[in-house]
Chain A
Amino acid sequence: MLTAALATGALGACTTDATVDPVATPDPDTALAAQVLMAEAELLELLDSLVAGRPRRLEALAANRAVHEAHLQLLREAASAAPVTSTATPAPFTGDDRAAYLTLARAEDRLGQTLRRAAFSAQSGPFARVLAGMAAATAQQSAALRTLA
């Protein structure tokens, strides 16, 4: 269960309601985690298309990828979800570097909105805190990408 995983696994500092029976009570944040997982995975798919065949851009966006992979990993661990793997080869992005960075910045903004809404809605306080931290990270990435562009 999500709340239990947050409390006992990746987020040891978090607390949870120990009286909740994970079998009898569906975790209300599980659907939220699935939504966020999908949104994070979509951003990484976009990133793949932006760097396909572009080693310099791949290097420039390595830190961005690392942030989102860390978010994805934490969410997977918390939700006990299987890795989302795409077998499709991403269609390469045909624009220049500036267009690529701005495209990714706009995607960060959309992901940030999803994360903010999720943080607001989360039943678990510790989960809300983590989601808000992820939203803050996407805002930083967006700002950094606009500087890069």
Chain B
Amino acid sequence: MTPVEALQAALAGEHAALHVYGVLGGRVSVSAAPATAAAISSAYAMHRARRDQLRTMVQQLGGDPVAADVSYELAGPSDTTPQIVREARGIEERCAEVYAQAVGATVRAQRQWAIDALVDAAVRSLTFDGEPATFPGLPELS
């Protein structure tokens, strides 16, 4: 995998994350689940910033940033707070995998960015009731 391909994969992951967090943000109850609502709002802002950074990074490497799909399917139902939390956790775990791929495929500033993103996704997954993993982002070692 080339650096551009790895960053494009991460960008595609960010597009999906933003879509799903947008849906979850519209479904979570701010009054009944304020902590979850705040965590989703914070995650949305972080992923939007990462998407913008990735677009710039891809362009700097001479690539044409991949566009978002028209729509994305959620992994499961997201009507209740536990379902919303599970969906959010799944997003972070999937993002961790593409960030880890990017670590292995890039060098210097792009690799540093990917390391930071991987660590952030791993910790953020705990916010959504995730359990600490032995190798976050590396499913073949889990």
Question: Which residues of A pack against B, CB within 8 Å?
Answer: 10-14, 63, 66-67, 70-71, 74, 112, 116, 119-120, 125-126, 128-130, 132-137, 139-141, 143-144
Contact = CB atoms under 8 A, between A and B. Distances in A.
Contact of A137 (B104, B105, B115, B136): B136
Given A125-B104, A136-B119, A137-B134, A144 B126 contact: yes
16 contacts: A10-B141, A129-B100, A129-B104, A132-B103, A133-B138, A135-B115, A135-B118, A136-B135, A136-B137, A137-B122, A137-B134, A137-B135, A139-B119, A140-B133, A143-B126, A144-B132
Most buried by A among B104, B105, B112, B140: B104
A71 B134 contact: yes
A142 B136 CA distance: 14
B8 interface: no
A120 B132 contact: no
Contacts of B140: 11-13
B: interface residue count bin? 20 to 34
Contacts of A139: 119, 122-123
Interface string B85-115: 0000000000010001101111000011011
A27 to B, nearest CB: 17
Given A63-B132, A128-B111, A136 B126 contact: no
